[in-house]
Amino acid sequence: MIPIWIVIAYLFILLVLGGAASRLFRGTSQDYMLASHSIGPFLLLMSLFGTTMTAFALVGSTGEAYTEGVGVYGLLASSSGIIHSLCFFLIGLRVWGFARRYGYRTQIQFFRDRLESDKFGLLLFPILVGLVIPYLLIGVIASGSVISAVTEGAFTDSFAQYDYGIPPWLGSLVISIVVLIYVFFGGMRGTAWANAFQTMVFMVLGVVTFVIIANRLGESQPGYDAQASPGGPIAGAIHGMKSLSERVLNENPTKLKRDVDQQDRTQYEQEYERWEALAEYDFATRRLERKVLTSEQQTAAHAAFKPRMPGWERVAEALYARDHELIELSIPERNRARVLQDDRVLPDPMPDDREGLWQSELLRPSREAVEHQESSRPFLERVWVAIKSLWSPRPYTHTLSEFPRIENIAETRSLALFGPDGSNRIGHPNAPLDADDPDGERKWTRKRAAGIYRATHWAPEEPHGMDPWEFLTYMFIPFSVGMFPHLFQHWLTAKSANSFKLPVVAHPIFIMLTWVPCIMLGLWATSAMWEGRALIPPHFPPNAILGAMVQRLTGPVLTGFLTAGILAAIMSSLDSQFLCVGSIFTNDFVTHYARKDRFSDKQVVLMARLFVVGIVAVTYFFSLFEHRRVFVLGIWTFSGFASLFPLVFAAVYWRRLTKLGAYAGVLTTIGLWLWFFSESNYGSDTKYTVFGLQPVATMFVASAVAMVLVSLVTPPPSDATIAKFFPPKRK
Amino acid sequence: MRYVVWGLIVLLIIAHQDIWFWDDTTLVFGFMPITLLYHAGISVAAGFAWWLATIFCWPSPEQLDPAAYAEAHVAPNQVAGGGSVNVEQGGRA
Q: With CA atoms as reference, report the closest residue to B84 among A651, A101, A729.
A: A729
pLDDT of the residue at A404 = 86
Question: CB distance from A728 to chain B under 8 Å?
Answer: yes
Report the C-alpha gap between A23 and A34 in whole angstroms.
16
Residue A162 backbone dihedrals phi, psi, to 5 degrees: -110, 30
Going by DSSP bridges, is the β-strand pair A533-534/B27-28 parallel, antiparallel, or unpaired? unpaired
CB burial of A458-480 (b: ≥16 within 10 Å; e: otherwise) equals bbbebbbbbbeeebbbbbbbbbb
Residue-level pLDDT at B37: 96
How far is the C-alpha of A551 from the C-alpha of A558, rounded, in Å? 9
Using the 8-state DSSP alphabet, how is residue A419 labeled? Answer: S
C-alpha to C-alpha distance for A338 and A335, rounded to whole angstroms? 5
- pLDDT the model gives residue A414: 92
pLDDT of residue B83: 37
Residues in chain A: 731
Reported pTM = 0.86
Cα separation of A107 and A580, whole Å? 10
Res B88 pLDDT > 80: no
Q: How many other C-beta atoms can be found within 10 angstroms of the C-beta atom of residue A377?
A: 12
Q: Rg for chain A (alpha carbons), in Å? A: 28
Do the chains contact at A245 and B66, CB–CB below 8 Å? no
Residue of chain A whose alpha carbon sits nearest to that of B47: A505
For A114, phi and psi rounded to 5 degrees?
A: -65, -35
**Least CB-CB distance to A509: which of B17, B47, B68?**
B47
Q: Cα–chain-centroid distance for residue A26?
A: 38
Alpha-carbon gap, residue A280 to A334, rounded angstroms: 6
Round to whole Å and give the CA distance between A682 and B26: 39
Dihedral angle, C-alpha A644, A647, A649, A651, nearest 10 °: -150
Distance from C-alpha of A583 to C-alpha of A577, rounded to nearest angstrom:
10
pLDDT above 80 (res A56)? no
- A422: exposed, middle or buried (Cβ count in 10 Å: 0-12, 13-18, 19+): middle
> Is the pLDDT at A730 greater than 70, yes or no?
no
Per-residue DSSP letters for A281-316? HHIIIIIS----S-HHHHHHHHHTS---STTHHHHH
Q: List the one residue out of A147, A1, A53, A106 whose CA is nearest residue A608.
A: A106
Is A728 in Cβ contact with B47 (below 8 Å)?
Answer: no
Q: How far is CA A104 from CA A107, A488, A550, A596, in A?
A: 8, 10, 45, 16
Alpha-carbon torsion (A522, A526, A527, A532), positive or negative: positive
Q: CB atoms < 10 A from the CB of A691, how many?
A: 10
Residue A28: Cβ-neighbour burial (10 angstroms; 0-12, 13-18, 19+): middle
Cα–Cα distance list, A232 to A133, A227, A408, B66 (Å): 47, 13, 45, 58
Q: Distance (Å, rounded) from C-alpha A415 to C-alpha A178?
A: 35
pLDDT at A11 over 50: yes
Whether the predicted pLDDT of A547 surpasses 60: yes
Count CB atoms within 10 A of the CB of residue A143. 27
C-beta atoms of B64 and A85 within 8 A: no
Helix (H) or strand (E) holding A637, with range, is: helix A627-643
Helix, coil or strand: residue A716: coil
d(CA A623, CA A278): 39
B44/A78 touch (CB, cutoff 8 Å), yes or no: no
pLDDT at A74: 93
Confidence tier at A601 by pLDDT (50, 70, 90): confident
Instruction: From residue A543, give the alpha-carbon distance in Å to each of A53, A142, A232, A401, B85.
Output: 15, 9, 31, 21, 57
Query: What would the pLDDT profile of B1-52 be if each residue is shown by its tens digit?
Result: 889 999 999 999 999 999 999 999 999 998 999 999 999 999 999 999 999 9
Among A122-136, A183-197, A593-607, the range with the most confident prediction by mean pLDDT is A122-136
Tell me whether B93 touches chain A (CB under 8 Å): no
Closest residue to A93, CB basis, from B13, B42, B59: B59
- Asked whether A279 and A335 are in contact (CB, 8 A), the reply is no
Three-state secondary structure call for residue A466: coil
Residues 6+ apart with CB under 8 A from A112: A118, A120, A121
Angle A155-A63-A516 (CA atoms, 0-180°, nearest 5)?
A: 115
**Minimal Cβ distance to B89: which of A71, A509, A731:** A731
- How far is CA A233 from each of CA A208, A214, A216, A241, A330, rounded to the nearest angstrom? 10, 9, 10, 12, 60
The separation between the first and the last C-alpha atoms of chain A, rounded to the nearest angstrom, is 73
The pLDDT value given to residue A224: 67
**Pairing mode, strands B27-28 and B32-33:** antiparallel
Whether residue A228 is predicted with pLDDT greater than 80 in this model: the reply is no
CA gap A61, A543 in Å, rounded? 9
pLDDT tens figures, A141-152: 888 888 888 888
Residue B90: pLDDT band with limits 50, 70, 90: very low
> Is the minimum CB–CB distance between B23 and chain A shorter than 8 Å?
yes
Mean pLDDT of chain A: 86
Contact A256 B46 (CB under 8 A): no
pLDDT band at A633 (very low <50, low <70, confident <90, very high): confident
Average pLDDT over residues A247-269: 90
Give Cβ neighbours of residue A633 (< 8 Å, ≥ 6 apart): A134, A138, A683
Q: What is the pLDDT of residues A362-417, one digit of tens each?
A: 888 887 777 777 777 777 777 887 787 777 777 778 888 888 888 889 999 999 99
Given this model, what pLDDT does residue B87 score? 31
Nearest CA in chain A to B24: A257
Rg (alpha carbons) of chain B, rounded to whole number: 23
pLDDT band with cut points at 50, 70 and 90 for residue A80 = very high
Query: What is the per-residue pLDDT for B85?
Result: 33
Q: What number of CA atoms fall less than 13 Å from residue A148's CA on the CB side?
A: 23
Chain A residue with Cα closest to B91: A730
User: H-type helices in A437-534, by residue range?
Assistant: 446-457, 468-473, 485-491, 501-525
Spell out a b/e string for A3-27, using b for 16 or more CB atoms within 10 Å of the CB, else e.
Answer: bbebbeebbeebbebbeebbeebee
What per-residue confidence (pLDDT) applies to A211? 86
**Element at A614 (helix H, strand E):** helix A601-623
Is residue B44 within 8 angstroms of chain A, CB to CB? yes
What's the CA gap between B26 and A252, in Å, rounded? 13
Q: Which of residues 489-508 of A touch B (CB under 8 A)?
A: 497, 501, 504-508
CB burial of residue A428 (10 Å; 0-12, 13-18, 19+): middle
Inter-chain CB proximity B22 and A259 less than 8 Å: yes
**Per-residue confidence band for A507, with pLDDT thresholds at 50, 70 and 90:** very high
pLDDT at residue A36 in the model: 72
Determine the residue of chain B that is closest to A244 in CA distance: B31
Q: Let me know: does A414 contact A453? Beta carbons within 8 Å.
A: yes
HEC assignment per residue over A620-634 = HHHHCCCHHHHHHHH
Task: Please give the pLDDT value at position A89.
Answer: 95
> Is B27 strand, coil or helix?
strand
Is A480 a residue whose pLDDT tops 50?
yes
